[in-house]
Amino acid sequence: MSKNSEHFDLQVNDFGKNFIWGVSTAAYQIEGAHDVDDKGPSIWDDFTSKKGNTYQNQHGNDACEFYHKFQEDILLMKKMNIDHFRFSLSWSRILPKGTGAVSAKGIQFYNDVINFCLECGITPWVTLYHWDLPLVLEEKGGWTNREILGWFQEYVTLCANNFGDRVKNWMVLNEPMVFTGAGYFLGVHAPGRKGLRNFLPSVHHAVLCQAAGGRILRNLVANANIGTTFSCSQISPYRNNRRDLKAAERADAMLNRLFIEPSLGMGYPWDTIPVLKRIQSYILPGDAENAVFDFDFVGIQNYTREKVKHSYLVPYIKAKIVKASKRKVRATLMDWEVYPPSIFNMIKRFNGYEGVKKIIITENGAAFEDEINKGGVHDKERLSYLQAYLKQVHRAKRGGLKVDGYFVWTFTDNFEWAEGYYPRFGLVYIDFENQQRIIKSSGKWFSHFLGTR
């Protein structure tokens, strides 16, 4: 146990008896079995097959082999006192061609996962879309094609009808700002598209799908608890001058406001970022109303704070993030600053929206260099990180802010998108050579902490 844990005097009950504790994962990052049975390829299968797109050209073809090892992993969760498990469904495992013919094997797999969770006393929390669009739909334009509204509604309807009798907790989209920004503007994530002409339609269609998915779940799933999740980082100006303050404002509008505000009926923040006005060419009559959905909860996913400075060289937002390493501050392996007050500040910020009824931290965690030493993994830095951030979540709760749950990202080490297997975020170490699982010190601490309920 880390010396840092001596300074952590909170008990699990200090957060209230109805506070939800869990772990989060995503299909492409853990399942493997990328071409088992009739599963169709996703944009991530395609993106990782092309050289230069990921760290050392790594891919998720095998990942953590959760597809074959889900019982082992869920039993390990039970052993660790984790009773809420957030996972995503792979669209192309369920609908290999994106629409039309349903994979009975895909449906069976998720039924098996859900049933085994329930058998073990673990509540399933399902994310409908965590970035792995069927490739066949991307070939028709993916998120840039307005037809995705129909494709997505068909997929959500299928999931609600097949799993909604047992799954009551749903998230429609995972971090739409990331999959549109990194995938359709910067091109550093699948499908690797770039530029405003891809980004703006993908944003608008994701906003519409976010609400449409919520409405389908409301109609088809009795007693559903429906949310969606947003990436968010505290944005601070690098220097206390007018230009950096304005740059921080623009970066904040892009990173933190772009998807939540349309869902609340506030429209897009184009007053702050004028280039967003070009979205208007994709808006049809009724879209503003159809973008709105009354979510039961909002999932916020916070890891860090960003410092931003004015930059003429960055198009449209004239703002540049100053990396943690440049600022010589304590950082994780992702070069994200360790700044615990950021999670408090983002809880407070989302509490400021009148239409947000409930907030759950659906992801928080850290990547560090983990190594096996004498049969164990002693990840003191992650342990210290989790405890420091949890103190800030408790500070928010104690101060009367809405925050009703906390999910660690992530349960096991996994395939971390463009960064491959290098950054390890798990409470459980995976030796990818032999798929051995080892509970890290942070996992043992979290297990003990949850066990005091």
Catalytic residue numbers read 175, 363
Tokens of 279: 């979205």
Neighbouring C-beta atoms of residue 77, cutoff 10 Å: 23
Cα–Cα distance list, 426 to 385, 412, 449 (Å): 13, 4, 17
Contact 87, 73 (CB under 8 A): no
Tokens of 426: 């798990």
Contacts 24+ apart (CB under 8 A), 259-262: 259/176, 259/177, 259/203, 259/206, 259/207, 259/210, 259/230, 260/230, 260/298, 260/350, 260/353, 260/356, 262/207, 262/288, 262/291, 262/292
Partner residues linked to 236 by β-bridges: 307
Peptide bond into 157 cis (omega under 30): no
Amino acid in the structure at residue 374: K
Cα–Cα distance list, 41 to 33, 149, 178, 205, 272 (Å): 11, 20, 21, 22, 39
**H-assigned helices in 120-195:** 135-138, 148-163, 176-184
> Beta strand 225-231 with 234-237: parallel, antiparallel or unpaired?
unpaired
- For the chain, first and last CA: distance in Å? 20
Amino acid in the structure at residue 301: Q
Partner residues linked to 58 by β-bridges: none
Contact 432, 421 (CB under 8 A): yes
Partner residues linked to 438 by β-bridges: 429
CA dist 63 and 81 (Å) reads 24
CA dist 342 and 303 (Å) reads 8
Cα–Cα distance list, 228 to 65, 85, 150, 165, 299 (Å): 26, 16, 19, 20, 6
Question: Which among 311, 307, 299 is positioned nearest to 347, based on CA atoms?
Answer: 299
